[in-house]
């Protein structure tokens, strides 16, 4: 149990990095950042695939199709929507909307996976979900209050960013559930090899997308210099760092957690991603969180610790 929680915490720290990438490269379109990140992830997965070649050879055609689906939705589409949301609405709102995942996934998993994992008793689960939701509400209220104080806010752009955040939320509700399904159905497989497999199938998709975007920018006479934009060193370095840490290491740690924890419980561990993303965002701002934000963070941590102590109960056949 606690080993799984430790892996989930490490995954959250890695995934939190993706929330500051669009802030560090605001002049780069979200499409270029999404394709660039996963092109780096795919290239990193190539040598790693050599070390796991024996394990990868065991994957069937249906396994590779599942890896393709997970990569398309949980990697490319998710980060495209997330980066678009962050560039339009700033980091806090998308971070907090993604922060609702612990509540959403726990409810979905308890409804669909209770026969496999056992049911987390609703009466015992509800208080922890309520505490997590309260923490998210506190942080969200603090950020919305700060936004309201700004006179230059473009509300239409902010609304579009919120819509992209909802799409990102949908992608990342689907991904952990489907990914956990495969891992729980294949307990003898190495989570590292499954993370590498997703990187390998991401590579051709990201490469095709990158080339297509490059051609589109040329046809439309977009002034963005290609192939690496106006700050090539910063772009390549950041994409490589996020591709390695957030995509491969983060996925590896999450797979390890998914094999050890019930799906309803591992879904709540995504709260660590929210905490890490908020920490990185405030460090980048050079600001100390508002008191209400700190209260919200405390509630998030308390809710997760509460949930970890709940044991699933087997469901009679």
- Residues in Cβ contact with 59 at an 8 Å cutoff, skipping those fewer than 6 apart: 67, 197
Q: How far apart are CA 238 and CA 40, in angstroms?
A: 10
Q: Is residue 313 part of a domain?
A: no
Q: How many domains does the chain have?
A: 1
Q: Is residue 162 part of a domain?
A: yes
Taking the complete model, does pTM exceed 0.85, yes or no? no
Q: Is the pLDDT of residue 310 over 80?
A: no
Q: Is residue 314 part of a domain?
A: no
Q: Is residue 316 part of a domain?
A: no
Q: Is the pLDDT of residue 27 over 70?
A: yes
Q: Is residue 315 part of a domain?
A: no
Q: Which structural domain range is residue 21 located in?
A: 2-308
Q: Is residue 181 part of a domain?
A: yes
Q: Is the pLDDT of residue 79 over 80?
A: yes
Q: What is the pLDDT of residues 279-292, one digit of tens each?
A: 888 888 787 878 88
Q: How far apart are CA 288 and CA 158, in angstroms?
A: 24
Q: What is the pLDDT of residues 167-223, one digit of tens each?
A: 998 998 898 888 888 888 888 888 888 888 998 999 999 999 999 999 998 888 888
Query: Is the separation of the CB atoms in 95 and 58 below 8 Å?
Result: no
Q: Is residue 317 part of a domain?
A: no
Q: How confident is the model at residue 114 (pLDDT cuts 50, 70, 90)?
A: low
The proportion of the chain whose per-residue pLDDT surpasses 90, expressed as a percent, equals 16
């Amino acid at each position: 149990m606690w080993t799984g929680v430790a892996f989930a915490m490490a995954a959250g720290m890695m995934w939190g990095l993706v929330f500051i990438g669009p802030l560090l490269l605001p002049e780069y379109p979200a499409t270029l950042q999404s394709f660039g990140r996963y092109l780096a992830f795919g290239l990193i997965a190539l040598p790693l695939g050599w070390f796991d070649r024996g394990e990868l050879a065991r994957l069937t055609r249906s396994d590779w199709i599942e890896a393709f689906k997970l990569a398309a939705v949980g990697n490319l589409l998710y980060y495209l929507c997330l980066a678009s949301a962050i560039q339009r609405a700033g980091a806090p709102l998308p971070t907090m909307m993604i922060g609702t995942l612990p509540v959403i996934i726990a409810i979905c998993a308890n409804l669909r996976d209770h026969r496999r994992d056992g049911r987390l008793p609703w009466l015992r689960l509800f208080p922890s979900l309520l505490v997590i939701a309260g923490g998210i509400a506190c942080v969200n209220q603090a950020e919305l209050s700060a936004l309201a104080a700004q006179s230059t806010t473009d509300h239409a752009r902010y609304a579009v960013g919120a819509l992209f955040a909802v799409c990102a939320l949908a992608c990342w509700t689907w991904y952990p559930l489907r990914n956990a399904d495969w891992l729980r159905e294949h307990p003898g497989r190495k989570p590292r090899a499954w993370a590498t497999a997703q990187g390998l199938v991401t590579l051709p998709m990201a490469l095709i997308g990158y080339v297509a975007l490059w051609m589109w920018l040329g046809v439309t006479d977009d002034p963005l210099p290609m192939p690496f934009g106006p700050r090539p060193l910063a772009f390549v370095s950041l994409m490589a760092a996020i591709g390695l840490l957030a995509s491969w290491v983060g996925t590896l740690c999450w797979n390890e957690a998914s094999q050890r924890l019930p799906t309803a419980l591992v879904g709540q561990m995504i709260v660590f991603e929210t905490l890490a993303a908020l920490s990185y965002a405030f460090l980048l701002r050079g600001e100390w969180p508002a008191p209400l934000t700190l209260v919200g963070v405390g509630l998030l941590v308390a809710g997760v610790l509460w949930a970890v102590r709940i044991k699933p109960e087997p469901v009679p056949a």
